[in-house]
Amino acid sequence: MQTTADDVAIYISTTKTDYRLGKAFVDSIEHFVDRPLIYVLPDDDYKSERMFGHPVWRPREPEILALDRYYKKLRVFWGPAERFVYVDADQIVLKDPRPLLEHLRTKSTPFLMASRCSRLYPRWLEGGPAERTSLATERVGNIGQLAQFEPPFDPLASYPFSSGNWAASKSVFDHALMLGEFARAQAFHTSSGRPEPMTISRAAVFNGDQGFLNYMVWKQGVTVDWIPDFYWWGGLGEEHWNCTQVPSPYTGLFVHWGGCPRPGPVPLPTGVPRAAQWRRHYFHHCRKSGDWVGCAKDTADFLALALHRGASRLKRRLF
């Protein structure tokens, strides 16, 4: 498939363990968009040139292939699209993504757009060093190792974004610098005596691609365009499905952990319209993707929770 400078792609990274989640996600996109430009990044041993009805994109250069496992999504900066949205596979689209794609089509380059979460951002703003250290460790990497790797870098200085949902232009980072910093991080990891490769380590200097992306934003002085609550986190109750920031047209576009089956409790569709819509999409795409066991289990869990709450209300009224 040939692309032009005006095309805006959606990249989806998936692995064997969540291929069915990727299928559900693609189905949810196609519910809104006719013939979307989607590229899939499966495991490197996936043989076919297409997946879920869309082209597979894989690099050929060894230095790009080295960005594997926990860093695989970084390959999109060498992909065919000049402008793109990157989304993890275990998600569901909640509303029409075409306004976002059109916005990216006309947006000045270079750019990087990322989510600022209402559940976490106030904690970042108001929290002390301990709160910021906790979030930076979770999203960027080991604070002590980062100080050794790059002493001027302060991971507590800027809100660390999630790498599960973001949009960018291909040119936002200097590619040679990016590969050079990745190679330097690998050498640092090896010199620390860790036996496992950095790309599969949860004890490395960076917390995978997420930490590395946040580091590269600092390294190149990139200004992030923030999207308040670009996605909802599906494993949480409905009280967390509210944007306490000034919303954008793209707020709540995705729900993360929206796959089949999805970890965590199923939100009850009460006062949050998007939660009700998510339930409809979730069960529809679960059935369409064929994961009947997961769908049945989540339905049983939902019914058990509803019965428990009903019994609790009845008990309070009677006693």
The tens digit of pLDDT for each residue in 69-88 reads 999 999 999 999 999 999 99
pLDDT at res. 107: 96
pTM tops 0.85, yes or no: no
Number of domains in the chain: 1
| Within-domain flag for 304 | no
100-114 burial, b for 16+ CB within 10 Å, e for fewer? bbebbeeeeeebbbb
* Residue range of the domain that includes 256: 8-264
Q: What is the CATH number of the domain that holds 165?
A: 3.90.550.10
pLDDT of residue 265: 41
- Whether residue 297 lies inside any domain: the answer is no
What DSSP assignment string belongs to 219-250?
A: HHTPPPEEEETSEEETTS-GGGS---S---TT
Per-residue model confidence (pLDDT) at position 275: 54
- Whether 91 is covered by a domain: the verdict is yes
Within-domain flag for 272: no
- Angstrom distances, CA of residue 141 to CA of 37, 40, 147, 154: 33, 27, 10, 11
Tell whether 189 is covered by a domain: yes
Spatial neighbors of 319 by CB under 8 A, at least 6 apart, are none
Would you state the pLDDT for residue 260?
47
* Owner of token pair 């997961």: 294
The separation between CA 286 and the C-alpha centre of its own chain, rounded to angstroms, equals 20
Task: Give the list of residues 6+ apart from residue 247 with CB closer than 8 angstroms, or none.
Answer: 228, 229
3 lies in some domain? no
Per-residue confidence of the chain (319 residues) as pLDDT tens digits? 444 445 899 999 998 877 877 888 898 899 899 999 999 999 999 999 999 999 999 999 999 999 999 999 999 999 999 999 999 988 888 889 999 999 999 999 999 999 999 989 988 988 889 999 999 999 999 999 999 999 999 999 999 999 999 999 999 999 999 999 999 999 999 998 888 999 998 789 999 999 999 999 999 999 999 999 999 877 666 677 788 999 999 998 998 865 444 433 444 444 444 555 656 666 665 555 555 565 566 567 667 877 887 888 887 777 6
